[in-house]
Structure 1
Amino acid sequence: MFGNTEEYDRDRNGFLERCHSEYGDVFSFDARTIVVSSPDQVHALLTRTNKDFLAENSPLAGRVDTERMAADAELWTTTRRAGWQGLHRRVAQAHAERLREVFFKTVGDGEMDVLATMTDFFGRATADFCLSADAEGVPETLAENVAAIDPLSRDSLQLPPWWPSRRVRRFARSRKRLLALMSDIVRRRRQAGDPSAQDLLSVLLASGDRELSDLQIERFLRGIMLAALGVPATAFTWIVYELTTRPDVLARLEAEAASAGDVPVVEELPYTEAFVKEVLRLWPPTWLIGRTVRRETELDGWRLKTGDQVLFSLYRLHRDPRWWSDPDRLVPERWLEPHVAPVRHTYLPFGAGPRVCVGTQLGMMQLTLATFWLVSYMDLARPQETAIVPDFSGLLVPRDLRVRSRRKAARQSA
């Protein structure tokens, strides 16, 4: 009755790896789902999104209405076009100045659950970038929404929205609260008409193409903040893990940080940026990506019907020995050699095509600066040197990672 689902849920990555080894770059998961693995297949899937494929990310089951999904995608694209402007240097630098304060309010001395701490930090950081002074209460409401989504995303069998389940009701309530909060903030900001705020909301309200509706802005901001909460928090948890296991890498990061100012631009931290890129290669938080077929089409010879699903594992793509040398080892230097560029379409931590992550630049800036501040000002140690087990049930996270952090007596000087 459930096909491969039970075996897949026992070991998601292991199941996909075994199937790829046995069946090759394309195999059928069930009657309506295929899995692809080659860079060209993945690239075609992503670049044809919004045309032949649609990005659907609801944690609940429901009738596949591809035309509604297409209309939603068009609204998202329109809003996103205006939102790109929100990542220009003036807004980004104003956010970077505030980000340092947020970091040191969140990360202090003592033992910490790394994922929980970083979820708190990136929730506050993203709310600041999107809403600046109007972010009061948003990080907590965001965290509540993410916590409600998590148990639903860990189960391959999706529940319909009418299902009499505590988990479904919790998700519906948290989503409603977040949208209501966003609606109130957008309405108040539009009425105030304050052009001085240096954040994403001000850019969206001042869009020159055509006025975006409040509903478009609310949904766009919610989507941005949800994506920018769990994903960078998970990525930074892996960064902390690698910092506590690779003293050679940590020493080089500290040496680079010693000659930088308090809020450097990313270009001043080439090794730190390379380290972040390499962590995203080894441990991509969104390790499994899917698309829904919008209309009958073909992908690398496979006939697909409307409503079918196509999946690919970013984790497997990033570690495929056909495309990467020493694929399972952290090697930041591979990003510092201009002649050792990765094979095309084999490195996609932020996706590609029309639905490439709108926060790519923002995410890299936040991760790079947070790494810089961490190695500059904090000493880290694992209280127990136990093996960390990757958890593939939702986002790819290091299960139960805890560290002790202690403020350095004095920041290193050049």
Structure 2
Amino acid sequence: MSTKTSLRPPGPKGRLLVGNTVEYDRDRMGFLRRTSAEYGDVFSFDSRTIVVFEPDLVHELLARTNGDFSSESSAVATRFDAERSAEDAELWMAARRAGWRGLNRATAQAHAIRLGALFERTIEETLGQPVDVLAMMKSFSGRATADFCLGPDAGGMPEVIAENTAAIEPLSGSSQLFPAWLPSKRIARFRRARDHTLDSITARIRRRAAEPAPAEARDLLDVLLAVPGLSELQVQRLIRGILLAAFGVPAAAMTWTVWTLTTRPDLWDRVATEASQWDGASVPPLSALPQTEAVVKEVLRLWPPTWLMGRIALRPTTLGQWALQPEDQVMFSPYLIHRDPRWWTDPDEMHPERWLDPAMTPRRHSYLPFGAGPRVCVGTQLGMLQLTLATFWLARNYQVSAPAAARSGPEFHNLLVPTGFTASFQRSS
């Protein structure tokens, strides 16, 4: 391929005025598959958006985030300000680096112990009754992440985040972004929910800051407040970002895990056998659960909740041979990269052995359920901890009945979720 810079990659012209939006919203995954098959690994969606499926180019895009590209996103249309975006990124990254350096094994272990009680409480609330699994797992992940971030001040926060997320979904479910000033009930609801979330987090930060510092950090908020020079705004933004990101994504991943285990009894038996070998005296480290962790990784490969990601160009730049202007968008789909037969053997098949056999190591840059680069999902390690332990507790302590699971197909909306997946949970005998 020539290395000469070209203006734009080829792509479908679409319809007058609306371009490709109608066709895309009608069948998002079908549109991406068809267009990629016709135009290749890089194509234009419209005059300001390109779509990339080549793993090395995606990795380059992610690695250059905060420099040439921004990960900023919004549920409403706002004027993009490259300078402000760069400043916001630095605030976020400084808080993130400080927070993660301050976390220690004792803090993580304390959260893991509380996590088990939260998982049991969530399951026991509907024991023996048919339940929407995604809704149940949203309840669990909301409680779990609020506990990780806010510990003793987590009360009420999952409900606040649930409302914030519910207000975002109708706006982000369309390819069209509407301006924040539009007189719309949906936008007014979004603004109220956003402001309530910020006020709720700020109140908890100030209440905690007024208390004597504990001898040992109990949660992320304790860690952040102990960092010299970290502003209230930085703490607020980091905690809000984690709470919002960790509400839906882990819930969708855990829902797919339950779906996988109920449709693959052999995998359930494999995970349950491993779980039964733990003595139960404490929470196991992930190193003691290789089979369980491999199943979780394979679920995230086949069903990455964030199935579509993107970046915005901050300045005139290039990606591969393609020229980009400020505010141009670059989109990519982990789902399609994860299922590309060029990078994966039997890409549509569930093979947890991929993660246990060194000879099956995936192609570099072809696995990115959490993104990559400097803005890799801040909850990557937390998410793997929560998902693996929840799967361990599920197989160890419960039985699941989901006779209609096979009829639950994937829905490519804001998140990738199984449609209409219901199940009932019982204590193991």
Do the structures match in fold with TM over 0.5?
Answer: yes
Q: Distance in 1 between matches of 2:405 and 2:142?
A: 29
> Any idea what SS the aligned residue of 1:339 has?
helix
Q: Distance in 1 between matches of 2:99 and 2:28?
A: 35
CA contact (8 A) 1:128 1:135 kept: yes
> Any idea what SS the aligned residue of 1:323 has?
coil
Give the one of 359, 370, 387 matched to 1:350. Answer: 370
Give the one of 153, 174, 183 matched to 1:155. Answer: 174
Indicate the residue corresponding to 1:335 in structure 2: 355
* Greater Cα shift, 57-66 or 139-148: 57-66
Task: Spell out the pairing of 1:315-330 with structure 2 (5 A cutoff).
Answer: 315-330=335-350
CA contact (8 A) 1:272 1:368 kept: yes
CA contact (8 A) 1:55 1:292 kept: yes
1:79: how far off?
A: 0.6
The answer on 1:88 being equivalent to 2:108 is no
Q: Distance in 2 between matches of 1:90 and 1:202?
A: 13
- TM (norm. structure 1) is 0.97
The answer on 1:124 being equivalent to 2:143 is yes
Task: Spell out the pairing of 1:11-410 with structure 2 (5 A cutoff).
Answer: 11-108=27-124, 109=127, 110-195=129-214, 196-207=216-227, 210-262=228-280, 263-385=283-405, 387-409=407-429
CA contact (8 A) 2:399 2:425 kept: yes
> Any idea what SS the aligned residue of 1:254 has?
helix
Task: Provide closer, same or farther for how the CA distance between residues 152 and 32 of structure 1 changes in structure 2, counting only shifts above 3 A.
Answer: same
1:387: how far off?
A: 1.4
* Greater Cα shift, 385-394 or 332-341: 385-394
1:331: how far off?
A: 0.6
CA contact (8 A) 2:405 2:422 kept: no
The letter for the 1-side match of 2:344 is W
The letter for the 2-side match of 1:89 is R
The letter for the 2-side match of 1:308 is D
Q: Distance in 2 between matches of 1:193 and 1:18?
A: 59
The letter for the 2-side match of 1:298 is T
1:8: how far off?
A: 0.2
CA contact (8 A) 1:86 1:199 kept: no
> Any idea what SS the aligned residue of 1:192 has?
coil
The letter for the 1-side match of 2:21 is T
> Any idea what SS the aligned residue of 2:360 has?
coil
Q: Which runs of 5+ in 1 are unaligned?
A: 410-414
For residues 290-310 of structure 1, what are the alpha-carbon distances to aligned partners after superposition, in whole Å with 9 as ceiling and x for unaligned? 100000001111100001000
For residues 244-298 of structure 1, what are the alpha-carbon distances to aligned partners after superposition, in whole Å with 9 as ceiling and x for unaligned? 1001111111110111133211110000000000000000000100100000001
The letter for the 2-side match of 1:50 is N
Q: Distance in 2 between matches of 1:56 and 1:6?
A: 24
1:64: how far off?
A: 1.5
CA contact (8 A) 2:255 2:417 kept: yes
CA contact (8 A) 2:262 2:405 kept: no
* Greater Cα shift, 86-95 or 319-328: 86-95
* Greater Cα shift, 81-90 or 174-183: 81-90
The letter for the 1-side match of 2:143 is R
For residues 356-379 of structure 1, what are the alpha-carbon distances to aligned partners after superposition, in whole Å with 9 as ceiling and x for unaligned? 112111110100000000011111
For residues 1-56 of structure 1, what are the alpha-carbon distances to aligned partners after superposition, in whole Å with 9 as ceiling and x for unaligned? 11000000011111011111000010000000000111111000000001100001
1:166: how far off?
A: 1.1
- The percent identity for this pair of structures is 58
Q: Which runs of 5+ in 2 are unaligned?
A: 1-16
Q: Distance in 2 between matches of 1:202 and 1:53?
A: 32
Count, aligned residues = 407
* Greater Cα shift, 80-89 or 90-99: 80-89
Q: Distance in 2 between matches of 1:87 and 1:332?
A: 30
CA contact (8 A) 1:205 1:211 kept: no
Indicate the residue corresponding to 1:412 in structure 2: none
The letter for the 2-side match of 1:160 is P
